[in-house]
Every structure is written in structure tokens, then in C-alpha cells.
Amino acid sequence: MQSRHSISAFIKALTSQGKVIDLHATDRVIVIIIIFGLVLGLAAIAIVIAIALPLLIIAVFQAVSDITCTARIIAIGTGKGD
């Protein structure tokens, strides 16, 4: 079942008119470039996560430490820490 609006029908129409030279090789190059871009994008995201995750963990531990320290100071100041 072929659709008149499909990409393959469009490619066949252009090829039959002689306006496109070696379109299939061009398609392969475009697909390879898109896949390469996606792989690089995913690698960049993985690198950013790998750098940011330890910093986020350190920030969370520091915040928890500050909160517990503040809670101790408040408890000592109110006499509830004894």
C-alpha cells in the first residue's frame, strides 16, 4: 500500500524527473549525520549528569549538615538539647 504523500513516493517522483542525483546515498548520509548528532547529544547529556550528580550530592549533604547544625543550636539555645 503506497501513499502519494510518503517520502519514498516523493523521492521516486524526483528521481524519475532526473532532478536528483544519487538520492539514496544522500539519504544515507543524512541519516548517519542525524544518528551521529543524537549519539553526541546523548553523550553530552551523560557527561553533564556525571559532572552534576556528585556536585548535587555534595550540596544536599552540606544542606542537611547545615540544617542539623542549626537545629542543634536552636535546641541548645532553648534548653531542649540537654
- Sign of the torsion angle spanned by Cα atoms 51, 53, 59, 65: negative
Q: Report the run of H or E that residue 39 belongs to, with start and end.
A: helix 23-78
| 8-state DSSP, 80 | -
Q: Identify the helix (H) or strand (E) that includes residue 15.
A: helix 7-16
Confidence of residue 44 (pLDDT cuts 50, 70, 90): very high
Number of neighbours of residue 12 by Cβ within 10 angstroms:
14
Q: What pLDDT score was predicted for residue 41? A: 95
Please check the confidence at residue 1 and state whether its pLDDT lies above 70. Answer: no
In this predicted model, what pLDDT tens digit does every residue of 9-21 receive, in sequence order?
A: 776 776 666 555 5
Three cell numbers written together for 45: 547529556
Model pTM score = 0.46
